[in-house]
Amino acid sequence: MIFNGSWSPPFRFTGGKDTPERIENWGCKEKAGVYVIRNWDDTKTLYVGKANGTSCDIQQRLKDHLSGIPPAGNRGIRNLVRQGEGFTVRWVESRNPALSEAIAIIQLAPQYNLRCEWKELVDRTSDDDCLAEAARLGLISDQPFRRIAEKIVLSMREQEFAERVKTQPELVRPLWENEQTQPELVRPLWENEQTQPERVLPLWERNAKLDQERNNYRER
């Protein structure tokens, strides 16, 4: 399993040797998202969990699991900590930790996740949203599905951009200025103007202030 750049770097923790305070150096304080606890060799997923960032952040949840002190944390992980086992841990931020956790559980098949409430969550979430989040997390290995997911992510970016043009034009202007450094975000709009004008042209009609940027782009 290769984790993409959305995830933190891997952190190591050894039960009976390291203390939970070590986790304070992992940069996950006050973060909402998902964490993955794997074996020391980083070849097997043991547990996937989430933190909403308000009542409990990722740092606290990892401390609960890796302290080895009952009743906090997962029992399977707690027992391994008390046996002195080593772990490799990663975390990733998420706007919807519950959905991210559900997708990670499906894709990574962790050994100690026994509860099944994630199934209902996935069932009531659209396929597009599930694929898009799986692609963001880098958890799609099948190439055809990955291409579909990438198209969905691109479509969602375009929709988000259109909404920002309407509500926050002052935040959109830097996109044109940074076109050279963020082509993956900006260029699809120009390319799709030729093939999907009904989706792109209204952006210009809604905000006349962008006409000059549009003309400048065409002259380049």
Query: Please, which pLDDT band fits residue 201 given cuts at 50, 70 and 90?
Result: very low
Tens-digit pLDDT profile for residues 93-111? 999 999 999 889 888 989 9
pLDDT for res 214: 43
C-alpha 118/C-alpha 58 separation (Å) is 19
Q: Are 77 and 37 in contact (CB under 8 A)?
A: yes
Domains of the chain: 11-124 (3.40.1440.10), 143-219 (no CATH)
Q: How many residues does the chain have?
A: 220
Overall average pLDDT of the 32-57 stretch: 95
C-alpha 110/C-alpha 209 separation (Å) is 51
> Percentage of the chain with pLDDT > 90?
45
Mean pLDDT score across all residues of the chain = 77
End-to-end CA distance of the chain: 42
Tens-digit pLDDT profile for residues 147-165? 555 555 555 555 666 666 5
Virtual CA dihedral for 30, 11, 103, 101, nearest 10 degrees?
Answer: -30
Q: How far is CA 155 from CA 29, 92, 179, 192, 199, in A?
A: 32, 23, 18, 11, 10
